[in-house]
Amino acid sequence: MSTDEPATTTPSWQWPETTWRRHVDAVRAGRPLRPERWPDGARAAVALSFDSDHETIPLRDGQTSPGLLAQGEYGARVGAPRVLELLARFGVPATFFMPAVSALLHPEEARAYTRDGHEIAVHGWIHERNTLLTAEDEKELVRRALETLTEITGERPTGIRTPSWDFSDSTLRTILDLGFAYDSSLMADDEPYEILAEGRPTGLVEIPVDWIRDDAPYFTMDRYGAVRPHSRPRDVLEIWRDEFDAAYRSGGVFQLTLHPHVIGHRSRLTVLRELLDHISAHPGVWYATHADLARTVRTAPAAHETPEHTP
């Protein structure tokens, strides 16, 4: 062991500067990728996404209770059809990040996404916790997931969202090695950016997420634990509406992450419908899949001004 590399048991406050800088610089936000103008002269971009986790959340942890599995089954049986119907009503494309096991359990659902003009993208094998895996196991699971979605839908995904938005020390290398065009798991900006690896540009587009723009923190609960938020749906609508309004004023991106087994319930789907009503009332909105967004920001001239980070 080198003199500037502390043992793993060394508390972080005793790390030398070289150590904490190495960790910080491993995966970093690079150049902003918000373009000078959006397609067709649009004022702002809206990228809706749905993580079709379904039964994989309990299965990941080895939990096979029919009650827990039924909560996930709701997403496939009820939530996803309702979501697809709503998107069709508004004529809005979306991206569905689907674990391979979900696609194997519900292949017709996976095919319905692409058939209806939406994008399907990788979301792990069984919603595994990649920070607990070896680099070899992580890469193998992502590779199998990519091949499974391609075989089921006939379309090769170009994007990935890591399960639970986790990044291990090897996640970025896995994504690059398998040839993905974009990732949507990190939170370093409101707008798309290029990912840096140890200070070097990778060419990989990041479409950032955030827990603020995710339905799960507001609505999920653990019957036997302390996780019992259950916010009022219209309180959440106000947050998401404010997020969109700020993105619209700055000419940026409004990205939203939802789950069919969460947002698909009746009172919550009403909120999504009202949000789409609100967005659609604004002229010059470009609805894009994450793949469309990544392709646009990668090829279009970037905006020269500093990105607006305040409402």
Q: What is the pLDDT of residues 138-150, one digit of tens each?
A: 999 999 999 999 9
Residue 87 CA to residue 93 CA, distance in Å, equals: 7
Burial annotation 138-165 (CB, 10 A radius, 16+ → b, else e): bbebbeebbebbeebbeeebbbbbbbbb
Residue 23 CA to residue 18 CA, distance in Å, equals: 9
In the structure encoding, which two tokens stand for residue 303, read together? 């905006």
Residue 310 CA to residue 235 CA, distance in Å, equals: 21
- What is residue 264's predicted lDDT score, i.e. its pLDDT? 98
Residues 202-231, mean pLDDT to the nearest whole number: 88
Q: Does position 305 have pLDDT exceeding 80, yes or no?
A: no
In the structure encoding, which two tokens stand for residue 37, read together? 């103008």
Q: Are 87 and 260 in contact (CB under 8 A)?
A: no
Q: What is the pLDDT of residues 97-117, one digit of tens each?
A: 999 999 999 999 999 999 999
Q: Does position 262 have pLDDT exceeding 60, yes or no?
A: yes
- What is residue 14's predicted lDDT score, i.e. its pLDDT? 94
